[in-house]
Structure 1
Amino acid sequence: MRDRRRTHTDDTMMTPAEAQTYCTTLTKKSGSNFYYSFLFLPKARREAMYTVYAFCKEVDNAVDEPPPGSHPQEELTRWRRELAAAYDGTPTFPVTVSLARHVRELSIPQAYFEELIKGVEMDLTTTRYATFDQLSLYCYRVASVVGLICLHVFGTTSPRAQDYAVNLGMAFQLTNILRDLGNDAECGRVYVPQEDLARFAYREEDLLHRRYKPEFTEFMRFEVGRAKEFYAKAARALDSLPRAERRALTVAEIMRGVYSRILQRIEQSGYRVLGDRVTLTPSHRLAVAAGVWLRSRLPSSTP
């Protein structure tokens, strides 16, 4: 008899294979920058990444796009229960049915997913961050923790690889924050630290009304520089790893290639992030992915 679980969305029964298909389809439809890097993983690890991404996406949607008539906090409570069920072997949502298999096979700590939910939960109560230290906790929970999860999928979890993942996650989230500054402002959210706005005398009122001023340019130059520092820290951590571990992180390096180019485009645009969203075309993202993958296969004199 096939193993079946009830789904999150209806009363039909779903097998682990069907749950995997659900996660794969959700990821492909998302149009995420990450999708193009997943293509370069072996099938089993690629399926694990699709499932991790689907979990992150659906938990995030519980707050950003809650089901009609639902309450976001209650939705997160349901996801906490389902996460525990995945680790107990009794999941009922499509994503957690698929997740249960992968966390068991890859030994992914439950605490990482719990931290991720805490990060998403912060969006329910926090729309401003006074300091960068406060923002750092948010970035760690919603991005760096995902990087630590991914290390288990990639097959390397050494301390230096963890340093790499944490710093790269910070860099990605800071890039996202800068790219989405205008869209978030339209929703009344300001993720950049209040202390930074004050430092460059750029008023929050001007940000909320999407006003470009000389002070904004200086402010953005500082913020982009901070993000670059985290990319550089990740690169130094990567360089300190043995070649085998570096190759295991090729997919993460593809992500770094894509996101660092987004940051570069923000800079090249003169920091015009209060209007249209800065993006890369699918063909550009795929070209970046292919280039990084090919370079990872070149001979190296480093052990």
Structure 2
Amino acid sequence: MEALVTSSMTSFYYSFSLLPREIRQAITTLYAFCRTIDQIVDRKPITEHADLAARRRQLQWWRQQVDAMAGNGTLSPLVRPLELVVERFAIPKQYLLTLIDGCERDLVQRRYRTFEELKSYCYSVASVVGLMSIHVFGYRYDETEQYAINLGYALQLTNILRDVKEDKDRGYIYLPLEDLERFRYSEADLLAEVYDARFVELMRFQAQRARSYYNRARAVLHPDERRTLYPAEIMDAIYYRLLEKIELGNFDVFHRRFRVRTPHKLWLAAKIWLYAMLFSRRR
């Protein structure tokens, strides 16, 4: 499972690599589950009804495996490492089911009418990952759950901004349709990759919304939690920098693929880890 994660060299890897071995292995197993569910849905475009049915059967198999963790059915040996993590860190099994349900939405839903509708999707595919992760990292304050939820919103909204073109090419529009209407920028404009003042203002509005969730997350993170939750702060820093780069590039996501370079990710990870080790209070 670790190979599945490290081979992608994602921002998650830079966050996890500095963790103690037991925690790193647990979070890697958990992330491998998340990646597996995501790949069932996103590995290639759906070409026919039989393909859709096959993917839904795979997701249902995973639901059955989560149920089997509670003793209701036969657990596959492949899922045993995940079960050990869930039991060791008391991760609510509903979180795993919520993630499966959220990813399944991508099989049947390609547009979001309102932000509230999109927000529920973001909770299912991003915030719930944060909620599972803080169980592994360890936390003491109820506010930390709100930290995980809001950071999940922020990270997913940043992804949506970066991937407007890629998602459009796959047939998805995650920008809320009510926001397109607000800025008089039509779905047809987006599909045609019209880059003008309307699009820039639409994207600026989305970026401000994402930034508000970074701020909400940071506002509720207790100083005592920073020593154990530094991986989440690394994710925050990397994705916040990505958001800044998109803004500095005037939201030209149709013609540029914005990213944070590897040396910058490593610098951010080292800086935040050192701060957590040197200046955060021990429990």
- Normalising by structure 1, we get a TM-score of 0.87
Correspondent of 1:290 among 264, 270, 276: 270
Paired residues of 1:151 and 1:157 also in contact (CA < 8 A): no
The superposition leaves residues 53-74 of structure 1 with CA deviations (integer Å, 9 ceiling, x where unpaired) of 1000110111112699852111
Paired residues of 2:160 and 2:175 also in contact (CA < 8 A): yes
Unaligned segments of structure 2, at least 5 residues: none
Q: Does 1:92 align with 2:73?
A: no
C-alpha distance in structure 1 between counterparts of 2:152 and 2:33, whole Å: 17
The superposition leaves residues 98-140 of structure 1 with CA deviations (integer Å, 9 ceiling, x where unpaired) of 1011111101010000110110011111101110000010000
Unaligned segments of structure 1, at least 5 residues: 1-22
Correspondent of 1:54 among 28, 32, 36: 32
Paired residues of 1:82 and 1:93 also in contact (CA < 8 A): no
Q: How does 1:106-185 map to 2 (within 5 A)?
A: 106-156=89-139, 158-185=141-168
Tell me by how many angstroms 1:218 deviates.
0.5
Aligned counterpart, 1:225: 208
Paired residues of 2:227 and 2:280 also in contact (CA < 8 A): no
Deviates more, 1:284-293 or 1:192-201: 284-293
C-alpha distance in structure 1 between counterparts of 2:185 and 2:119, whole Å: 21
Q: Secondary structure of 1:205's partner?
A: helix
Aligned counterpart, 1:245: 225
C-alpha distance in structure 1 between counterparts of 2:99 and 2:188, whole Å: 31
Deviates more, 1:63-72 or 1:100-109: 63-72
The superposition leaves residues 204-227 of structure 1 with CA deviations (integer Å, 9 ceiling, x where unpaired) of 111112220110011111000000
Tell me by how many angstroms 1:300 deviates.
6.0
Query: Is the alpha carbon distance of 1:200 and 1:147 closer, same or farther for their aligned partners in structure 2, counting shifts above 3 Å?
Result: same
Query: Is the alpha carbon distance of 1:254 and 1:49 closer, same or farther for their aligned partners in structure 2, counting shifts above 3 Å?
Result: same
C-alpha distance in structure 2 between counterparts of 1:139 and 1:174, whole Å: 8
Aligned counterpart, 1:279: 259
Aligned counterpart, 2:42: 64
Q: Does 1:265 align with 2:245?
A: yes
Correspondent of 2:176 among 162, 184, 193: 193
- Count of aligned residue pairs for this structure pair: 277
Corresponding letter in the other structure for 2:166: N
Paired residues of 1:140 and 1:169 also in contact (CA < 8 A): yes
Deviates more, 1:55-64 or 1:274-283: 274-283
C-alpha distance in structure 1 between counterparts of 2:40 and 2:280, whole Å: 45
C-alpha distance in structure 2 between counterparts of 1:78 and 1:196, whole Å: 37
The superposition leaves residues 60-99 of structure 1 with CA deviations (integer Å, 9 ceiling, x where unpaired) of 11111269985211111111112223443953263x2210
Q: Secondary structure of 1:30's partner?
A: coil
Deviates more, 1:279-288 or 1:222-231: 279-288
Q: Does 1:33 align with 2:6?
A: no
Deviates more, 1:113-122 or 1:83-92: 83-92
C-alpha distance in structure 1 between counterparts of 2:77 and 2:211, whole Å: 38
C-alpha distance in structure 2 between counterparts of 1:234 and 1:38, whole Å: 20
Tell me by how many angstroms 1:158 deviates.
2.6
Alignment RMSD:
2.1
C-alpha distance in structure 1 between counterparts of 2:126 and 2:280, whole Å: 30
The superposition leaves residues 184-232 of structure 1 with CA deviations (integer Å, 9 ceiling, x where unpaired) of 0111110010000000111111111222011001111100000000000
C-alpha distance in structure 2 between counterparts of 1:282 and 1:244, whole Å: 29
Paired residues of 2:224 and 2:280 also in contact (CA < 8 A): no
Q: Secondary structure of 2:173's partner?
A: coil
- Report the identity percentage: 42
- Normalising by structure 2, we get a TM-score of 0.92
Tell me by how many angstroms 1:250 deviates.
0.7
